[in-house]
Amino acid sequence: MTDTTTKRLKTFSGVKPSGGLHLGNYLGAIKRWVDDQDVYENVFCIVDLHAITVPQDPVALRQQTREVAAFYIAAGLNPARTIVFVQSHVSAHAELGWVLNCITPMGWLERMTQFKDKAAREGDNRERISTGLFDYPVLMASDILLYDANLVPVGDDQKQHVELTRDIAERVNRLYGDILVVPKPLIAETGARIMGLADPFKKMSKSDNLPGQAIGIFDKPEDIRKAIMRATTDSERTIVFDTNRPGLYNLLTIYQVLSGETREQIETRFEGKGYGDLKRTLADAVLDTLSPIQARCNSLLNSSDLDDLLRDGADRARVIADRTFNRVCTAMGLR
């Protein structure tokens, strides 16, 4: 479907409020949403229905949902021009999710590498994985399609899910007429796959228990500094962008996204210097970015303004989502 209601392209994206935000979420997704905020018309969601695909403590889930929302705003999303809301506050997500389930072949979901990886990690417990975890990409398709999003700014690991969303939208359009906008993933050239600091062969992730692997957005400055100073590198001397040296490459990539400098500028800056210099400069850059965001987050978390903003965001999101859901229902002979 071609959308003619606005001149600006529309974006939709979200983060799961489980396990705590990490630097990869910020650099691969949230920072880019903030940087491009004025280019697009944006809707950003805290996807709590996705978090419950694995068991969650209810009190912790509510707290983490508020933390992610506070982080979005503290990092620079402006709720006056960008819709920020919590997924479970808008019922059309689950409703369209069901409808899309009925047109999505199981085989498409069985091919999702993220599910295959998670299922493999469960080993003998595989039988106990929730149906929701298997079905999760259909809910994600519902999230995106409800807002007629043209672009979905995400990290590299979500690309396959956005491609599935395209397939689902195209199938609906083929079966019921041209009623859904077919979105594209928007993936940064730099920073779309931030790797772990301890094991740079694995992506930085919330579920990794390896000490020092992920930098938590709310970690204490001394812990952040320690994790960076201990990051795995190699025994070579030069500081250059070289994909064959994954530990160093990752540290330089993080620095590149934070500083906005070019690779040449960064290589010149560290010419003749050692890993200690690089790590100290990087730790300063991470803390210079995160500390003011953490301070703004704390004041938002202690104020009821946050809940008012989320209520208002859900009201605005609901208008758009209900309109799309009605369009789908009408086309399918429901309602």
Residue 203 annotated in active site: yes
The count of residues interacting with ligand TYM (CB under 6 A) is 26
Tokens 């952040």 label which residue? 224
Strand ranges for the chain from DSSP E: 10-15, 41-46, 83-86, 151-153, 184-186
Residue 118 annotated in active site: yes
Among the listed residues 203, 220, 273, 279, the single catalytic one is 203
- Is residue 74 a contact residue for ligand TYM (CB under 6 A)? no
Q: Closest distance between ligand TYM and the C-beta of residue 307, in Å?
A: 22
- Is residue 157 a contact residue for ligand TYM (CB under 6 A)? yes
- Is residue 169 a contact residue for ligand TYM (CB under 6 A)? no
Stretch that binds ligand TYM, among 25-33, 104-112, 247-255, 259-267 (CB under 6 A): 25-33
Phi-psi region of 212 (alpha: psi -120 to 50; beta: other; left: phi over 0): left
Stretch that binds ligand TYM, among 200-208, 220-228, 240-248, 264-272 (CB under 6 A): 200-208
The count of residues in the chain is 335
Nearest residue to 104 (alpha-carbon basis) of 139, 130, 131, 150: 139
What separation in angstroms does the CA of 255 have from each of 16, 17, 96?
A: 25, 26, 40
Given candidates 11, 25, 281, 294, which one binds ligand TYM under the rule CB under 6 A?
A: 25
Q: How far is it, in rounded angstroms, from Cα 261 to Cα 278?
A: 14
Interface with ligand TYM in residues 93-132 (CB under 6 A): none
Q: How far is it, in rounded angstroms, from Cα 324 to Cα 235?
A: 56
Q: Which residues are known to be catalytic?
A: 118, 203, 206
Under the rule (CB under 6 A), what is the footprint of ligand TYM? Answer: 12-16, 24-25, 28-29, 47, 50, 140, 143-144, 152, 154-155, 157-158, 161, 192-194, 203-205
